[in-house]
Structure 1
Amino acid sequence: MEQPIHNSASDLSMKEVILKFKSWSSYLWSKRMLILIWTIIGAILGITYSIVKKPVYTAKAVFALEESGIGGSLGEYSGIASMMGISLGGSSEGLFTGENILELYKSRNMLVKALLKEGDFKGIKQLLVERYIDSYKLRKSWSDKPRLRDIRFTKQGKLTLLQDSVLNEIVKAINKNILTVTKPDKSLSIIYVETKSIDQLFAKKFNDQVVANVNEYYVQTKTKKASQNLAVLKFQTDSVRRELNKSIAGVASTIEINPNPNLSRQSLKVPTQRRQVDFEANKAILVELVKSLEMSKVSLRKETPLIEVIDEPVLPLEKTKFGKLKGLLVGGFLGAFLSTLVLWIRKITDEILN
């Protein structure tokens, strides 16, 4: 009868693992007071951090963006405008579609424009950039740099090179830590703009200003071409109307000069006929221009995107604070984990050296 074959290597490996585990358990148990001390220290540090850590306020604006293009041709009404080099149709498709509008919020131009706006902070008028510098105590960190420490921003005047550099750094910090722009559902045109800051008033004012700036710029850019066309058509219509009025006055004056022309002399009819031709021509042009002008107004209305505010930040803002219990648990866990890790590394090092 065959005897069962035992895998002595497997038995030995399992035995070594068990012995190693018992050895480690005994070692850590012998160091339990040290681990406990570091756990208590970590818990104290966690509670201290929760007390020192300032709460973060979140200002959130939610709005829906509805775009409508003119779509299709304006037909016969665009004929006269096309002859004059004016385009009535053509929405700016692709200009700020998709994710482009999100990137617009993060652009330096929009953020700097918002930072250089003045806000009312409990009765005190202050530029948002100055409020940001005070809230984050940047001048204290610039104490060893007199040029930065004494820098001031105003609404008027051209920015200096130093001011531009400071604004660049602030814009980077805002994009990294403060401003978040998202579009949760790609199929919907609902956009969330969140501003997080330790300064509640700054968070709200900055959120309101950057949303207002971007939406205004967006509408102006989307309707720029249609607005220019409308202005040109209005100018042309007014010009033709003035010429028509002159033609009417010319016909009347010609008749007054020669009220009873001799029918046998055809040359006497020429001035009157010429004035009448001018009148009829200007009248026909004016009719077409008025039609084109009205269609241009329709085009402008259709190309103007509708921005509907769904929700806007209202004081007091949502506050996120690192709680004491959370600090106690996280600090205690980190203290225990790090002390155990250090002891483990130390024991391995001793075993290698021995």
Structure 2
Amino acid sequence: MILKVKDNFYYLLRKWPTIIIVAAIGGAIGLAVAIFKKPTYDAELTFVLDDEKGGGGALSAYAGIASQFGINLGGLEGGEGLFTGDNIIEFLKSRRMIQLTLLSKADFDGKKELLVDRYVRVNKLDKDWDRNDKLKDFQFVADTSRNFLQDSLIAEYHKSIIKDDLLIDKLDKKLSILSLKVTSKDELFAKAFCEKLITNAANFYVKTRTKKSQDNLDVLTKQVDSVRKELNSAIGGVAAASDANPNANKAFQSLSVASKRRTVDVQANTAILTELVKNQELARMNLRNNKPLIQVLDRPILPLEKNKVGKLTGIVLGGFIAGFLCVIWLTFKRILKGILAA
């Protein structure tokens, strides 16, 4: 084996002109790549998940009191499921979030534009659209209507973004701080997409995790308004009954019945309204307790970090790769020739 390795080494030394020429060609290719390849930009945003498992303390005690009156404040134990653990990473990569972000508008040089239009133009995905009758006059629209062609295009863009442009990971496995990085040839698009994605995720959380709390608050608000209306009516009834008999004869007890009935209504509605107002404030506390889930720590700031291969790096790297492949090819060719000769 040692003799064969030594013999192959001297064989490669005799082929040094070929290896040098191939390495030079590789270096030239690396230089061309470094000159003509457009740089990419990284927009990185770090955020932390608010994983509180419950309101605890006084809020939980108040919830217990509220439940005695048939009021379910809900959500006090904190939400577990979609927004816990590593689920948030897959959620941010989901087609729904990517589609919602691509169909969001952002400000580019003072002009509002859909992110998907910017993405298509930057990556030159529309260069062959004029040759296709279906895509010739196609335009993306930011609405909820079902558009088969638009959905198909965005499905392809989603795959490409997840594969090449989007990276979401934890900075440290022991921490709950996550990093969201978007890579693009356009630094304005990279920054806008990064910020819109995290904003849409936070808004989605508010609409889902707090939905039950918001519904409870809406019901309590309607009940408070209804009881307050009845209380005002009862107060007006007491006044009306008193005005009808300002100097009622005490010998005729029936004359004071209407006023007493309305007074009882006032007392009952006052007690009910007091409890409902308390529960309403508890519901507001619970709603605030569930916000927010995602807290942004660092946002991308222009100018973004540029990824570009330097000329010297391109020459060295291109030459090394080409020379290495040439050595492999010459060795393989010699071995194969020896096998055939045997």
Structure 1 and Structure 2 fold alike (TM over 0.5): yes
Change (3 A) 1:80 1:285: farther
The yes-or-no answer on 1:90 pairing with 2:80 is no
Give secondary structure in 2 for the equivalent of 1:139: coil
In structure 2, the partner of 1:38 is: 22
Q: Map Cα deviations across residues 92-121 of structure 1 (whole Å, 9 max, x no partner).
A: 420311122222211222211111122222
Change (3 A) 1:34 1:186: closer
In structure 1, the partner of 2:124 is: 137
Give secondary structure in 1 for the equivalent of 2:296: strand
Question: Equivalents in 2 of 1:102, 1:267: separation in Å?
Answer: 73
The yes-or-no answer on 1:216 pairing with 2:203 is yes
**Preserved CA contact (<8 Å) 2:63 2:72:** no
Listed as ranges, the matches of 1:190-205 within 5 Å are: 190-205=177-192
**Preserved CA contact (<8 Å) 1:180 1:194:** yes
In structure 2, the partner of 1:242 is: 229
The yes-or-no answer on 1:155 pairing with 2:155 is no
**Preserved CA contact (<8 Å) 1:59 1:196:** yes
Change (3 A) 1:65 1:170: same
> What amino acid sits opposite 2:18 in the alignment?
L
> What amino acid sits opposite 1:228 in the alignment?
D
Question: Equivalents in 1 of 2:311, 2:320: separation in Å?
Answer: 14
The yes-or-no answer on 1:293 pairing with 2:277 is no
In structure 1, the partner of 2:261 is: 274
The gaps in structure 1 that reach 5 residues or longer are 1-16
In structure 2, the partner of 1:50 is: 34
In structure 2, the partner of 1:3 is: none
In structure 2, the partner of 1:330 is: 317
Q: Map Cα deviations across residues 147-205 of structure 1 (whole Å, 9 max, x no partner).
A: 23542213357352111100110111111111222222344332211111111111111
The yes-or-no answer on 1:25 pairing with 2:20 is no
> What amino acid sits opposite 2:73 in the alignment?
L
Q: Map Cα deviations across residues 46-74 of structure 1 (whole Å, 9 max, x no partner).
A: 11122222211011112233354323342
The yes-or-no answer on 1:118 pairing with 2:102 is no
**Preserved CA contact (<8 Å) 2:33 2:314:** yes
Give secondary structure in 2 for the equivalent of 1:140: coil
Change (3 A) 1:88 1:249: same
> What amino acid sits opposite 1:335 in the alignment?
A
The RMSD of aligned alpha carbons is 2.1
Report which stretch shifted further, 71-80 or 322-331.
71-80
Report which stretch shifted further, 144-153 or 23-32.
144-153
Report which stretch shifted further, 175-184 or 70-79.
70-79
Q: CA deviation at 1:226?
A: 1.4
> What amino acid sits opposite 1:36 in the alignment?
I
**Preserved CA contact (<8 Å) 1:80 1:289:** no
Q: CA deviation at 1:141?
A: 5.0
> What amino acid sits opposite 1:60 in the alignment?
E
**Preserved CA contact (<8 Å) 2:74 2:212:** no
The yes-or-no answer on 1:260 pairing with 2:244 is no
Q: 2:43 aligns with which of 37, 51, 59?
A: 59
**Preserved CA contact (<8 Å) 1:81 1:233:** no
The gaps in structure 2 that reach 5 residues or longer are none
Q: CA deviation at 1:312?
A: 0.8
**Preserved CA contact (<8 Å) 2:66 2:73:** yes
Q: CA deviation at 1:222?
A: 2.4
Question: Equivalents in 2 of 1:136, 1:89: separation in Å?
Answer: 47
Give secondary structure in 1 for the equivalent of 2:127: helix
**Preserved CA contact (<8 Å) 1:41 1:335:** yes
Question: Equivalents in 2 of 1:157, 1:303: separation in Å?
Answer: 27
The yes-or-no answer on 1:182 pairing with 2:169 is yes
Change (3 A) 1:187 1:24: closer
Give secondary structure in 2 for the equivalent of 1:304: coil
Quote the sequence identity (%). Answer: 44
> What amino acid sits opposite 2:47 in the alignment?
F
In structure 2, the partner of 1:11 is: none
**Preserved CA contact (<8 Å) 2:105 2:112:** yes
TM-score, normalising length: structure 1: 0.87
Change (3 A) 1:59 1:323: same
Question: Equivalents in 2 of 1:31, 1:283: separation in Å?
Answer: 102
Report which stretch shifted further, 170-179 or 323-332.
323-332
> What amino acid sits opposite 1:87 in the alignment?
N
**Preserved CA contact (<8 Å) 1:77 1:291:** no
In structure 1, the partner of 2:326 is: 339
